[in-house]
């Protein structure tokens, strides 16, 4: 007699991935509409920018704009988040969305672009693109180092804003979903050191690629640096 096998339980989705996916969903919708000059998206970005440099919850105007319901419900393959997890998830989401809104302001091309192996989208890789191909711009590098040594998330967000201003100037995109997950991890003990390592690895592994790579669509690597 054949015994039916019991299906394996789904692999739990890490919290940082849940937060990253939620950021991607929000930004994907807003960015598409913003680039089509839809008034609702233009207004949403203006509201988001006003929340920059503040903790989540300090800007009531954003409560109805940033939908965090998916963090409060346990879908298949997930579990209910604890209160500390929720607080850190909401803080990371808020910080990343407000930074993206500043980055995207008045730009006619997407400033959020998902990371791929061929086109790295991590913070370190983006900072490296600000520099000469065969050299290091020390003041720019120090901005990244200074961000990594921030004492708290609000300070980190303000220091990242200085970097985003440079990226915005040069139309260099960033994977804000990836950044959201990293900002969530950064808030835990040992998190800053782990995130700094990811940014450093991303910085050193970045290589400028020819323009023909703009049309490639390799597999994404959401957990890359």
- Which one-letter DSSP state was computed for residue 213? G
Which pLDDT score, from 0 to 100, does residue 223 have?
A: 43
Which pLDDT score, from 0 to 100, does residue 136 have?
A: 86
- Range of lowest pLDDT (6-15, 56-65, 142-151, 210-219): 210-219
* Residue 70 lies inside a defined structural domain of this protein: no
Q: What are phi and psi of 174, to 5 degrees?
A: -145, 145
Q: How far apart are CA 191 and CA 80, in angstroms?
A: 22
* Residue 173 lies inside a defined structural domain of this protein: yes
DSSP lists the bridge partners of residue 174 as 112
Q: For 77-214, where are the alpha helices, taking DSSP H only?
A: 83-104, 123-128, 138-148, 153-169, 176-186, 191-205
Stretch 89-108: mean pLDDT, rounded? 96
* Residue 7 lies inside a defined structural domain of this protein: no
Residue 149 structure tokens: 């040594």
Length of the chain as a residue count: 225
| Predicted TM-score (pTM) of this structure | 0.85
Q: Give me the number of domains the chain comprises.
A: 1
Stretch 78-87: mean pLDDT, rounded? 88
Domain at 29, CATH number:
1.10.520.40
Stretch 208-219: mean pLDDT, rounded? 41
* Residue 6 lies inside a defined structural domain of this protein: no
pLDDT band at residue 7, thresholds of 50, 70 and 90? Answer: low
pLDDT band at residue 8, thresholds of 50, 70 and 90? Answer: low
**Res. 25: pLDDT tops 90:** yes
CB 219 within 8 A of CB 116: yes
Q: What percent of the chain shows pLDDT beyond 70?
A: 84
Q: How far apart are CA 166 and CA 214, in angstroms?
A: 21
* Residue 216 lies inside a defined structural domain of this protein: no
Query: What tens digit of pLDDT does each residue of 135-184 get?
Result: 889 999 999 999 999 999 999 999 999 999 999 999 999 999 999 999 99
- Domain holding 148, by residue range, is 15-63+93-210
Q: How far apart are CA 107 and CA 114, in angstroms?
A: 17
Stretch 180-195: mean pLDDT, rounded? 96
Query: What tens digit of pLDDT does each residue of 40-69 get?
Result: 999 999 999 988 877 777 777 788 899 888
Stretch 80-95: mean pLDDT, rounded? 94
DSSP lists the bridge partners of residue 116 as 220
Q: How far apart are CA 133 and CA 131, in angstroms?
A: 6
* Residue 3 lies inside a defined structural domain of this protein: no
Residue 112 structure tokens: 């959020």
* Residue 180 lies inside a defined structural domain of this protein: yes
């Amino acid at each position: 007699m054949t015994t039916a096998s019991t299906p394996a339980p789904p692999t739990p989705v890490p919290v940082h991935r849940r937060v990253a996916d939620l950021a991607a969903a929000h930004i994907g919708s807003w960015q598409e509409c913003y680039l089509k000059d839809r008034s609702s998206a233009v207004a949403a970005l203006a509201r988001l920018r006003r929340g920059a440099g503040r903790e989540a919850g300090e800007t009531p105007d954003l409560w109805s704009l940033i939908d965090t319901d998916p963090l409060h419900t346990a879908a298949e393959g997930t579990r209910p988040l604890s209160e500390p997890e929720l607080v850190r998830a909401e803080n990371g989401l808020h910080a990343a969305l407000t930074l993206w809104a500043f980055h995207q302001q008045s730009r006619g091309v997407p400033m959020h672009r998902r990371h791929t192996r061929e086109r790295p989208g991590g913070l370190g890789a983006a900072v490296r693109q600000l520099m000469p191909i065969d050299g290091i711009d020390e003041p720019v590098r120090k901005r990244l180092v200074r961000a990594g040594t921030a004492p708290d998330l609000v300070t980190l967000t303000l220091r990242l804003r200085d970097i985003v201003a440079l990226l915005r100037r040069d139309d260099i995109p960033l994977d804000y979903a990836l950044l959201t997950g990293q900002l969530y991890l950064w808030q835990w003990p040992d998190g800053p050191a782990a995130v700094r390592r990811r940014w450093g690895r991303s910085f050193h592994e970045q290589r400028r690629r020819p323009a023909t790579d703009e049309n490639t669509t390799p597999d994404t690597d959401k957990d890359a640096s």
